[in-house]
Structure 1
Amino acid sequence: MPADLNDYFNKKNGSNSGNKNSQPFGNFKAPEFNFKGFGKFAPAIYTAIILILLFVLARPFAIVNSGEMGIKVTTGEFDSKALGPGLHFFIPLFQKIIIVDTKVRQVTYASVEGVNESNLNRGSGVINKSSISVLDSRGLSVSIDVTVQYSLNEAVVPQTIATWNTNWEDKIIDPTVRDVVRSVVGKYTAEELPANRNAIASQINEDIGRIIANLPNKPVTLNSVQLREIVLPAGVKQQIELVQIAKQEAERAAQEAIKKATLAEGEANATIISSKGRADAARIEADAQAYANKEIANSLNNPLLNLKQIEVQGKFNEALKTNTDAKIFLTPGGAVPNIWVDTKDAKQQSAISR
């Protein structure tokens, strides 16, 4: 600091030493700076110091990180070309750079205690909101939990921010999701919602995707829409559970009846098979007997019969040799001769009785 300036502060401090509270400087002693050695370079040094201070305070630069894009605005006009990652400068008071997150973002509508519209974590790309309240087809209130993932279309980021501003999510994603969910779910009664969950999820995904894709310049890319949960009123939930229990009991009874019918049918078939088996066995046995009889009959020819007759006559002749009193009459014919015994003979009767 120049010597005359130092003298000024010293004199000012000395004149006020008797009344410390009357002047704002009090016992302040100005630091002594001696720039005499710089000579003619002193003005340049002052200028440099001032410029550095202004640079630090004004911060006429912005750093764009990976996953972000910068938009330079000059006197309110958005540049059509976005700035990529890196260090970018602008003119204070006339220009500014808006940093926009282009990474995948997520908004979750959930029935979680403590989650509300003000509990937003936008910095991490995750937004939590309360469940979407919907009236079913009968006017009964239900809650729907949904998770939506999306990201900005990098090709049109400046146009998107110029049209929708930095709170584009509240103008594009949120109203679209709420409108679609209420429209789709409102077609069903509360009792029908669990059974039609897959159809509802598919319809919500399709409708949100169609609406987002039809926006001018396609500002947003929709990644996924997930139906997390359908929260029913306690009374409706209990009624559905009772219906499910009754249905399960009916199914169990039907399965038991089918089981018994199958068992009875099996026993009946077994009886039929057994009876048929016995009948087939009897038929086979009869056929075999008939076949045997036929074969026997075919084998009884005249020479064989004559031979049998001769054999029998021979046996009777041998018997008459020892039983001389017997009166036996032989009549030839058939397989064996006919035998007639005279039972009137007393000796013969006695022989027969013995």
Structure 2
Amino acid sequence: MASDMNDYFNKKKKEEQRGGGFQAPKPPKFDFNMNGQKAGMFWIIGGFILLLVLAKPFIIITEGERGILSTNGKYEDQALMPGLHFLIPFIQKVYIVDTKVRIINYADKIERASTAGDGIVLKPAITVLDKRGLPVTIELTVQYRLNAQLAAQTISNWGFSWEDKIIDPVARDVVRNVIGQYDAETLPIMRNAIALKIEAGIRASVDRQKNGPADLESIQLREIGLPQKVKDQIERVQVAKQEVEKAQQDVERAKQEAFKKETEAQGTANALTIEAAAQAKANHLVGQSITPGLLKLEQIKVQGKFNEALKENKDAKIFLTPGGSTPNIWLDTKTGDSQKISSTR
């Protein structure tokens, strides 16, 4: 028994020495073999999916856009409307154009850079010459949009940079022609008329283009930049005008004061005239009211006063003036004093 056991361990030892030690189990084998029909379908489906990913035979156009379909390099006459459209890969291609309102700002100072796709184009202010050859800068805003119905013809005729070939040169040409009709000093005064002429000129020029490539929304004249010496001259003229206006106001105020005093003096004279007329009328009435009977009554009253005076001073001498043209006087012979008793007319 012991010898059998030794033989077993010796045999195991020899096997380990020969490299026949512990070996990991081998992974199971799977059979990927398919018949020819199944393999063909697999490769067809995979190739179709890869073609869809690479060729992308469809396109989605959103609102505010149009698609220009090109077949073998030739543009179609009608633009593609918003929605889903299928294409023939590698043969047809669609170019997206923007039909929303776009803006060109001509500004002396560009405060920000235009962002791609925001529809705003920033350009330097338009520099032109006035009637005498002085440089003037015009800041302008032009709002426009691509004619959606004729977008394909416009791109075919003008290319994708159509606005740089139509809107920009037209605006500059019209501004140059309009400003050249005026002196720089008169530009601020004629601002409204100039703005109307610029707008009318740009609209007429764009409308004359073949197939009506663009629809103008508005043209706004924002600023007129004048040379510094012209600004100084205008400022001096304004100051002189203000001084003249102030002098005219002072003259007008003086005229009003003089008219007021004249009116007051005329009123005083009228019042005196009225008073004198009233007094004359009163005297006339008084004269008409004196009758012989009234005069006799007055004489009786005066006689009564004489009698009273003689009672107090019997030595007084009384002088009566006939006709009543002078006062009646009594004379005190003791003292020599005299006194008017009354007067009659």
- For normalisation by structure 2, the TM-score amounts to 0.77
* 2:51 alignment counterpart: 54
For residue 50 of structure 1, report the CA deviation from its aligned partner.
Answer: 1.2
SS in 2 for 1:292: helix
- Structure 1 residue 86: deviation in Å? 1.9
Aligned-pair CA distance for 1:45: 0.9
**Pair 1:158 & 2:152 matched:** yes
Is 1:228 aligned to 2:245, yes or no?
no
1:105 equivalent to 2:94? Answer: no
Give 2:193's aligned residue.
199
- 1:70 maps to what in 2? 67
**Once the 2 structures are TM-superposed, how far is the Cα of residue 325 of structure 1 from its aligned partner?**
4.0
Structure 1 residue 260: Cα displacement: 2.8
2:185–2:234 contact (8 Å) kept in structure 1? no
Q: Of 195, 201, 208, which aligns to 1:214?
A: 208
Instruction: Determine if contact 1:74/1:96 at 8 Å carries over to the other structure.
Output: yes
1:137 and 2:134 aligned: no
1:309/1:335 contact within 8 Å kept? no
Q: Extract unaligned runs of 5+ from structure 2.
A: 1-28, 339-345
**CA displacement at 1:316 relative to structure 2:** 2.6
User: Any idea what the Cα deviations from partners look like across 1:69-101, whole Å, max 9, x if unmatched?
Assistant: 112222333333322222211112322222221
Alpha-carbon separation, structure 2, partners of 1:285 and 1:198: 64
Deviations 1:190-234 (A, max 9, x none): 4443333332222111111011112222121011112233334xx
> Hey, which of these two has a bigger chunk of helix by percent?
1
Aligned partner letter, 2:130: D
- Of residues 173, 178, 185 in structure 2, which corresponds to 1:184? 178
Root-mean-square deviation (CA, aligned residues, Å) is 3.1
- 8 Å contact kept, 1:305–1:335: no
For 1:97 and 1:352, how far apart are their aligned partners in 2? Answer: 145
1:352 partnered with 2:336: yes
Change in 2 beyond 3 A, CA 1:58/1:248: same
1:108-158 Cα distance to aligned partner (Å, 9 max, x none):
22223588xxx7645222222223332333444433322211111122222
Q: 1:290 to 1:162 in 2, by over 3 A?
A: same
Answering whether residue 165 of structure 2 is matched by residue 168 of structure 1, we say no
1:209-267 Cα deviation digits (max 9, x unpaired)? 011112222121011112233334xxx32x23322332233233223322332333233
Opposite residue 336 of structure 2, the aligned amino acid is: I
Q: 1:107 to 1:122 in 2, by over 3 A?
A: farther
Displacement of 1:353 in angstroms is 5.2
Determine the structure 2 residue equivalent to 1:298: 288
Q: Extract unaligned runs of 5+ from structure 1.
A: 1-31
Offset, 1:165: 2.1
Q: TM-score, normalised by structure 1?
A: 0.76
The answer as to whether partners of 1:74 and 1:95 remain within 8 angstroms in 2 is yes
2:84 aligns to what SS in structure 1? Answer: strand
Counterpart AA for 1:311:
K
- Count, aligned residues: 310
**Contact 1:120–1:129 at 8 Å: present in 2 too?**
no
Rounded to whole Å, the distance in 2 between the matches of 1:114 and 1:310 is 114
Task: Give the superposition deviation at 1:46.
Answer: 0.4
Percent identity over paired residues: 46
Equivalent position of 2:250 in the other structure = 260
Distance 2:64 2:107 in 1: 27
Amino acid at match of 2:298: K
Q: What code does the residue aligned with 2:127 have?
A: S
Structure 1 residue 104 displacement after superposition = 1.0
> Partner of 1:15 in structure 2?
none
Alignment of 1:321-332 (within 5 A): 321=311, 323-328=313-318, 330=320
Q: Which moved more, 1:126-135 or 1:94-103?
A: 126-135
Q: Distance in 2 between matches of 1:114 and 1:311?
A: 112
Q: Which amino acid aligns with 1:291?
A: K
The answer to whether residue 278 in structure 2 is matched with residue 288 in structure 1 is yes
Contact 1:108 1:129 in 2 (8 A): yes
In structure 2, how many angstroms separate the alpha carbons of the residues matched to 1:34 and 1:287? 148
The aligned counterpart of 1:92 is: 89
Question: Does 315-324 or 260-269 show the bigger shift?
Answer: 315-324
Map of 2:342 onto structure 1:
none
* Aligned mates of 2:231, 2:197 — CA distance in 1: 26
Query: Could you tell me which amino acid in structure 1 is paired with residue 100 of structure 2?
Result: K
Alignment partner of 2:232: what SS?
A: helix
**Quick one: structure 1 residues 43 and 96, their matched pair in 2 at CA, closer, same or farther if it must change by over 3 Å?**
same
For residue 305 of structure 1, report the CA deviation from its aligned partner: 1.9
